[in-house]
Structure formats: structure tokens, C-alpha cells
């Protein structure tokens, strides 16, 4: 018996931007790592540029692309950043060019950015964007996760929880909302969303149109 997958019809499509946002401690970083490690998913992580100094543990072009302030300002002023922000006197942003190159190849780009960044990207490339917000199962559990990290002082944890409430209030502005009470199940739900979004007609329009024209000409 022949393998049905060998004769599968596929359509060329434009890639999408998959944006994950969540309050600190909700599991976004772990889920991002799981998605990138899944070879059959083929996601490319968006690499931000920043004007801050590189830390000893960081690799240029892997964690960030480290650039001069003047270079960042040129990118920003020319409209070549999908999103940008100033944090503690340093600039961070996502260059449009590398992302567009990946999308045009029919491949997808994963963004690990906050609400403000997600809104900026959506404003500039709405048809390419899919946004997902990750919620914790409870504020009690979120606090416990932050405390288990043993990375922050008590005052810092309180600040993170305050910020978390502000971010959670934005949940309705995302396309999808998942509650991360089970890491593996949440990961599987992310995969289901990605696969469904890849099949949307708008993303495969040119390929489907050509196929239908050929079909009707038979």
C-alpha cells in the first residue's frame, strides 16, 4: 500500500508571525523553548536588536544583535522596526527586514514579546500576526512559581505580580488565550493553533487559486 503522505498536495503560503505574551512566571519562556526544539514545527525565533552592552553570557546574533544607538535610531526613524521600546535607558526593537525574509519563504517567526510590542507589530502587519496570551492558573500559583525561582527579592516579586495584573487585564486583545495549568497540554494546544493558522485560506490564497484554476480546466 502506498504512503498517502507521499502524494499529499501542498500549497505555497506566506509565513506568519506567532506572538506569545504572558506575565512573568506564566511559562512563556519554557513554552517558547519547547516550540523551537520541535524540529517538525520549523519555527524561527525573532532576534531583537538592542543598544545595551552585551553580557558575558550572551552571544551576538543569538540572544540579541548588539548595535550602536545611532544605528538603532536610523532603523527606527526609517520605519524599519516592527516594534521598539526604551527600557532603563537602552533601546530594544525588532528589525522588519529579517522577519520579512523568513515570511516570504513561507516559514513562520516566533516572537517572545510583551503587550506593547505585540500591539505595535499588529498595527504594522496585522494580516501576518497571530497573538496568544498565556495565563497562569491562579495568582497564588503565579506567586509560588516566582518564589520557586529564588531569583528575586520579595519587593521585586511584588512588583512582578503588580505588573502581571496589568498585563492580564489585556487578555481580550489577543487572538487566543490559554491557561497554563498543565505545561504539556498547553504546548499541544499551541501546536494545534499553529497548524490551524497555517491552513487558513488567506495565507495560502495564491497557491489555492492556481490549483483551483487547474482543477476547473480539466
pLDDT band at 197 (very low <50, low <70, confident <90, very high): very high
Judge whether 207 lies within some domain.
no
30 by Cβ neighbours in 10 Å (0-12 / 13-18 / 19+) ranks as middle
Q: 75 lies in which domain range?
A: 13-200
117 belongs to a structural domain: yes
Tens of pLDDT along 50-62? 999 998 888 998 8
Mean pLDDT of 32-43: 93
Q: Which residue has the higher pLDDT, 149 or 95?
A: 95
In percent, the amount of the chain with pLDDT more than 70 equals 97
Q: Which residue in 152, 140, 186, 192 sits closest to 32, CA to CA?
A: 186
11/69: higher pLDDT: 69
If residue 42 lies in a helix (H) or strand (E), which one and from where to where? none
Domain count, the chain: 1
Measure the CA–CA gap between 13 and 207, rounded to whole angstroms. Answer: 7
Q: Give the pLDDT mean for 156-175.
A: 91
Distance CA 94, CA 50 (A): 9
27 Cβ contact list (under 8 Å, min separation 6): 134, 136, 145, 180, 183, 186
Does 105 fall in a domain?
yes
Q: Average pLDDT in the 192-202 region?
A: 91
Task: Look at residue 213 and tell me if it is in a domain.
Answer: no
Domain assignment present for residue 214? The answer is no
How confident is the model at residue 4, as a pLDDT?
43
Q: What is the pLDDT of residue 7?
A: 53
For the beta sheet containing 176-179, the strands, ordered from the edge strand earlier in sequence to the opposite edge, are 43-45, 108-112, 17-21, 129-135, 176-179
Q: Does some domain include residue 5? A: no
- Within a domain: residue 33? yes
Any idea what the CATH number is for the domain that residue 146 is in? 3.40.50.300
Q: Is 215 part of any domain? A: no
Across 68-85, average pLDDT:
96
Contact 109, 17 (CB under 8 A): yes
**pLDDT tens sequence across 120-158:** 999 999 889 999 999 999 999 999 988 887 777 888 888
Q: What confidence score (pLDDT) does residue 2 get?
A: 43
The reported pLDDT for the residue numbered 5 is 41
Amino acid at each position: 500500500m502506498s504512503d498517502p503522505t507521499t502524494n499529499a498536495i501542498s500549497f505555497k503560503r506566506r509565513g506568519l508571525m506567532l506572538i506569545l505574551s504572558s506575565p512573568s512566571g506564566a511559562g512563556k519562556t519554557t513554552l517558547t523553548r519547547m516550540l523551537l526544539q520541535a524540529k517538525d514545527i520549523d519555527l524561527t525565533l525573532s532576534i531583537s536588536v538592542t543598544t545595551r552592552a552585551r553580557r558575558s553570557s550572551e552571544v551576538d546574533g543569538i540572544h540579541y544583535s548588539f548595535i550602536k544607538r545611532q544605528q538603532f535610531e536610523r532603523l527606527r526613524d526609517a520605519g524599519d522596526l516592527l516594534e521598539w521600546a526604551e527600557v532603563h535607558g537602552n533601546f530594544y526593537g525588532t528589525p522588519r527586514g529579517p522577519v520579512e525574509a523568513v515570511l516570504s519563504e513561507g516559514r513562520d517567526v516566533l516572537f517572545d514579546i510583551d503587550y506593547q510590542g505585540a500591539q505595535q507589530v499588529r498595527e504594522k502587519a496585522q494580516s501576518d500576526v497571530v497573538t496568544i496570551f498565556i495565563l497562569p492558573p491562579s495568582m497564588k500559583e503565579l506567586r509560588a512559581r516566582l518564589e520557586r525561582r529564588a531569583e528575586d527579592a520579595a519587593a521585586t516579586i511584588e512588583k512582578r505580580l503588580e505588573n502581571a495584573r496589568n498585563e492580564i487585564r489585556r487578555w481580550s486583545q489577543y487572538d487566543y488565550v490559554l491557561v497554563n495549568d498543565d505545561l504539556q497540554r498547553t504546548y499541544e494546544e499551541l501546536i494545534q493553533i499553529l497548524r490551524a493558522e497555517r491552513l487558513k485560506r488567506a495565507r495560502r490564497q495564491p497557491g489555492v487559486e492556481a490549483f483551483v484554476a487547474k482543477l476547473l480546466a480539466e
